[in-house]
Amino acid sequence: MKRVPVWSRVRGRQLAALGLACGLAASATACTNVMLSGATVIENLDAPRFEVTYGSGPRQRADVYRPLGADGPMSGPAPVVVFIHGGSWESGTKGLYRWMGQGLAAQGYVAVLPNYGLMPETGFPDFVRDAASAVAFARAHAAEWGGDTTRFFLMGHSAGAQIAALLAYDGRYLAANGLSPSMLSGFIGLSGPYDFVLDSKLLRRTFGASPEQEAASQPVRFVTASAPRTLLVMGRDDRTVRPRNTHRLAARLAEVGAPFDTLWVPGDHGVTVGAFARPYRGDSEVVRAVTAFIRR
């Protein structure tokens, strides 16, 4: 009889419990939150991590994870990945995604996970401006953290992917911080809304103040031929963010001739970001695609 390590049996029981809790959750968003919280519990927090302050606001803080090599800290400058969390623009925190920071660090990257202002205290476009300030701070200090500013990537999941996409395609946000999207080596969007209809109270409350604001919330409207390299990853069965968002953004990138790749994987909303959790990342098509995109 094959012996299963104790840590594997414990992890299996934890994941089974998470699956049950997810099944009892009242919504897809609640289900995703249960799984992401569980991923943080399961993760062994071993990569060096510290907190920085990128502004004066109460949520203008970020966690920085430095990668580990086989014999300790990496010896050379590493790619930098700024990951913007999701949460429907009204919830979420960098602490919920500690496993994502660990997962990116495990691939050899300096990972920067900022908080940003949330609804209703912070409205659109101010939470995008928060993220732009975090990116500018990370760019300015990346070398101190062992990062390579010539390999600087922007990544986001769900609402965070919409925010990251606006930073990548609408140059006004980075320009306000003395930067340009041209300094990005690439944008990686996980299950993001890029061309959406304000068909819910949440979306109308967040983006529906005026026709101009509604138009400004749609990343697809700002895509040009000079857009940064893009990787779009989407679950085929996503019921939280409709897959048409990825289809439409990919179509627009193709129309203008901007470089992009897409990856469609089985699963719902959390599968694209959950791939980086320790139980899954060793054999994840998503992680392999992101790693290939960054190394290219």
* Statement: residue 24 has pLDDT above 80: no
Neighbours of 8 (CB within 10 A): 11
Taking the C-alpha atoms of residue 148 and residue 139, their distance in angstroms, rounded to an integer, is 9
Residue type, 200: S
Kind of pairing between the strands at 260-265 and 230-235: parallel
Q: Looking at residue 138, what is its pLDDT?
A: 98
**Could you read off the pLDDT of 156-200 as tens digits, one per residue?**
999 999 999 999 999 999 999 999 999 999 999 999 999 999 989
* Statement: residue 290 has pLDDT above 60: yes
* Statement: residue 21 has pLDDT above 60: no
**Could you read off the pLDDT of 40-75 as tens digits, one per residue?**
544 555 678 999 999 999 999 999 999 975 334 556
Token pair, residue 217, equals: 């919330």
The ranges assigned to domains in the chain are: 47-295
Taking the C-alpha atoms of residue 134 and residue 80, their distance in angstroms, rounded to an integer, is 13
Q: Which residues contact 222 (CB under 8 A, 6 or more apart)?
A: 166, 169, 170, 171
pTM metric for this prediction: 0.86
Do 292 and 231 touch, CB atoms closer than 8 A? no
Chosen CATH of 47-295 out of 3.30.70.270, 1.10.1040.10, 3.40.50.1820, 1.20.120.1200: 3.40.50.1820
Residue type, 23: G
Question: 50: part of which helix (H) or strand (E)?
Answer: strand 49-53
Angle formed at CA 103 by CA 101 and CA 109, multiple of 5 degrees: 75
Considering the chain, what percentage of its residues have pLDDT values greater than 90?
Answer: 76
Token pair, residue 250, equals: 């990919």
**Could you read off the pLDDT of 112-157 as tens digits, one per residue?**
999 999 999 999 999 999 999 999 999 999 999 999 999 999 999 9
Do 131 and 84 touch, CB atoms closer than 8 A? yes
The helix-helix angle for 126-141 and 159-169 (nearest 10°) equals: 70
